[in-house]
Amino acid sequence: MTTQEVANKLVEYCSTGQWDKAQDELYADNAVSIEMEGAKEFTYKVEGLAAIKEKGVKFESMVEEFHGMEMEGPIVAGDHFTCSMVMDVTMKGAPRMKSPEIALYKVENGKIVSEQFFYDLPPE
């Protein structure tokens, strides 16, 4: 798949809550996931598809109710693409919130090899 095809599929799957399908089909086994430096809930960088899936399980365990996600993009430039996302969630023990972020992906040989997320960290 081209970078554009991978990007379009990822947006399609994520917009409909099919994260497992996106990871199984679109991610390389050695993919890397990078969070915002200083995010308390997650390790800054995890390596490997298994670790990325584990990170997803951890996130799901923190969510009381998932209300939906809006995505814009993708915007493709060479082997990279970006999307903006706004998650509408109620985290356990917290009020409902909309959480905007930008995601940047790199594609090699038709698979996502890295993802990096940019968002505002909650106040301390």
Question: Chunked in runs of 10, what are the mean pLDDT values of the chain (124 residues)?
Answer: 97 88 97 90 92 91 89 96 94 91 97 95 72
- Strand segments (E) across the chain: 27-34, 45-47, 63-77, 80-91, 96-108, 111-118
What CATH number has the domain spanning 3-118?
A: 3.10.450.50
Q: So what's the pLDDT on residue 121?
A: 81
Of 82, 86, 72, 70, nearest in space to 107 by CA: 82
Q: So what's the pLDDT on residue 124?
A: 65
